[in-house]
Amino acid sequence: MEFDDRIVVVTGGAQGIGRSISEAFVRGGASVVVADISLDAARETAAELEIFGRTRAVQMDVSQSGSVVEAFKRIKTECGGVDILVNNAGITRDGLILRMNEEDWDAVLDINLKGVFLCTKEAVKIMVKQRRGKIINIASVVAFMGNPGQANYGASKAGIIGFTKTIAREYASRGITVNSVAPGFIQTAMTDALDEQVKQEMLKSIPAGTFGSVDDVAQAVVFLASAGSNYITGQVIHVNGGMYM
């Protein structure tokens, strides 16, 4: 899967799954814009990945329209366009519904769902004129199964699925595909910090018997961004080791 001359924007691209996605595209020959709310983190990741290819860092708060518009304006000016957008930026603010405050609900919906709307809107403006584009949204297994303590997160990720299918229908005739990747339990710094007993209980729900890796998610994203997926749109690829089928 080669991405020479392709401009890729990865939101939340400085760490975790986003960093792995950024690296996968850079290794594939793409020019990658690492977009993150922390410019320092974005610059650090971009500098580390520069050894593989062309990267640049952009500060972007996906929950703020002004920040998103300015960032995409800069990307278009400096890069000439956007071929692939990966809406990866997301947060959690967990708590059972009776303990969840309005601020935590709003924060998760603003970043996880509104952010996808704002970034997609700006990318589509560019892609429509190019008559081509690939948009991949990072959802979650929680959107399909639910998870106690994550009403806000589950709602935001379920919203992404509906959004994905709608935008896929709106712009398929313009050469733009829109798909989602729904990760299950992925091994990250967060899962590494869990108690061993908690990990074992989580593993019992995964037929494969292991946590996924950030690279597992990145490879699914890369496939959906490749020419091999040109006739795939409005779909969800589940990366969860059989946890949800």
Choosing from 153, 171, 231, 244, the catalytic residue is 153
* CB-count burial class (<10 Å; 0-12, 13-18, 19+) for 219: middle
Q: Are 85 and 171 in contact (CB under 8 A)?
A: no
Distances (CA, A) of 41 to 9, 15, 16, 161, 190: 15, 8, 12, 28, 18
DSSP 31: E
CA–CA separation, 113 and 163 (whole Å): 9
SS (HEC) of 72-83 = HHHHHHHHCCCC
CA–CA separation, 237 and 179 (whole Å): 8
Structure tokens at 31: 């020019």
Half-sphere exposure of residue 97, counting CA atoms within 13 Å on the CB side?
Answer: 6
Structure tokens at 135: 């948009």
CA–CA separation, 244 and 185 (whole Å): 11
**In what helix (H) or strand (E) does residue 84 lie, and over which residues does it extend?**
strand 84-87
Active site residue 153: yes
Angle at 39 between CA 37 and CA 45, to 5 degrees: 105
CA–CA separation, 56 and 50 (whole Å): 8
Catalytic residues: 153
